[in-house]
Copies of this chain bind each other. A is one copy, B any other.
């Protein structure tokens, strides 16, 4: 922090931007999570349901889902377990690969998503997208695409 000629510290603007990102992200996620609570789910659950809803047959293999969300398989197992007891997701074993498990959106899950999605999207707009200029938001997309790409699969 004091005399360290070897390290390329962030300059003042980079510092400020980095801190803004940290704080902004923390507040944003907390807010979106909070807003979803009225539907009985959190943003993590929401993202799971969305991924399933977009997939063919409204289902995905556990490992695939875990990768898309960058979550550990263990975490996903627990979360899907909860979603299953909430009847939002159903698990069926995969016939072609007997090790595999499909997580499949139930009708109730889809119905919940239809309800929650407009509110959620509105929140994303109000608290992020509409605050950023079109060009700035595109920049955010580029940056984090590069980040995701650079870090790669676990």
Contacts A129-B18, A137-B14; A144 near B25 (Cβ below 8 A): yes
Q: Which of A39-65 contact B (CB under 8 A)?
A: 47, 53
Is A91 engaged at the interface, CB distance under 8 Å to the other chain? no
Question: How many angstroms from the CA of A35 to the CA of B25 in the assembled complex?
Answer: 20
The answer on a CB contact under 8 Å between A69 and B26 is yes
Cβ contact of A151, chosen from B1, B22, B127, cutoff 8 A: B127
The answer on a CB contact under 8 Å between B124 and A150 is no
The answer on a CB contact under 8 Å between B128 and A147 is yes
Is A132 engaged at the interface, CB distance under 8 Å to the other chain? yes
Is A108 engaged at the interface, CB distance under 8 Å to the other chain? no
On A, residues with C-beta under 8 Å from B are 1-2, 4, 6-10, 13-14, 16-18, 20-28, 30-31, 47, 53, 68-71, 113-114, 117-118, 121-122, 124-125, 127-129, 131-132, 135-148, 150-152, 154
